[in-house]
């Protein structure tokens, strides 16, 4: 038997809540409030890992004896980040970009205890079929895109238009739970984990 340690989830994402709940991981939620502005010239991989670390550390400051999980997910096409759309027109713009192309979903995760943090990055490729304007309209209106990076949810209406996934499916949903397990169970053995040098 393994003993999953209770964690504090530094996120308000309902998808992350659902994934942790589905695997029976004990947790409570305390969303972090940080500035998510990109830094000029910052690579998307560095961006998501930085935000995950900042979220975890922001909450860990209040809860130094607990394991705090921070995560940040974004969609990347040709090196450009597609964050959460600002409105339905922006969602349609993003879906037009994704139509008939491959893109990457990047998630940075970080496990913090006290002032120390360990982080990891998960990358998954997603292939979209060509979508007509009526299909894009359907996905934008029915797919509840405004709180989702890249304006879609792989586990909902967007599944109709996805032709392939290479990598961790749960990463595309919003939390690569296998990577979280390996990160936290590894850091649990070393109090507070380690800060990569």
- List the catalytic residues: 72
Beta strands in the chain (DSSP E): 7-9, 27-29, 67-77, 80-82, 102-113, 116-128, 162-166
Question: Do residues 175 and 166 make contact, with C-beta atoms less than 8 angstroms apart?
Answer: no
Structure tokens at 78: 């040709």
**Distance of CA 39 to CAs 42, 48, 71, 132, 185, Å?**
5, 11, 18, 35, 31
């Amino acid at each position: 038997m393994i003993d999953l340690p209770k964690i504090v989830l530094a996120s308000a994402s309902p998808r992350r809540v659902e994934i942790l709940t589905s695997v029976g991981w004990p947790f409570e939620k305390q969303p972090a409030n940080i500035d998510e502005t990109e830094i000029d010239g910052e690579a998307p991989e560095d961006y998501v890992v930085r935000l995950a670390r900042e979220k975890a550390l922001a909450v860990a400051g209040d809860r130094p004896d607990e394991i705090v999980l921070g995560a940040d997910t974004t969609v990347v096409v040709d090196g450009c980040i597609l964050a959460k759309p600002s409105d339905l027109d922006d969602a349609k713009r993003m879906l037009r970009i994704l139509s008939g192309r491959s893109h990457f979903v990047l998630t940075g995760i970080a496990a913090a205890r006290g002032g120390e943090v360990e982080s990891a990055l998960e990358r998954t490729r997603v292939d979209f079929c060509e979508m007509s304007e009526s299909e894009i309209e359907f996905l934008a209106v029915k797919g509840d895109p405004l709180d989702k990076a890249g304006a879609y949810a792989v586990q909902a209406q967007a599944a109709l238009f996805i032709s392939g996934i290479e990598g961790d499916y749960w990463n595309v949903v919003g939390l690569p739970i296998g990577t979280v397990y390996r990160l936290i169970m590894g850091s649990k053995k070393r109090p507070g984990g380690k800060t990569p040098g």
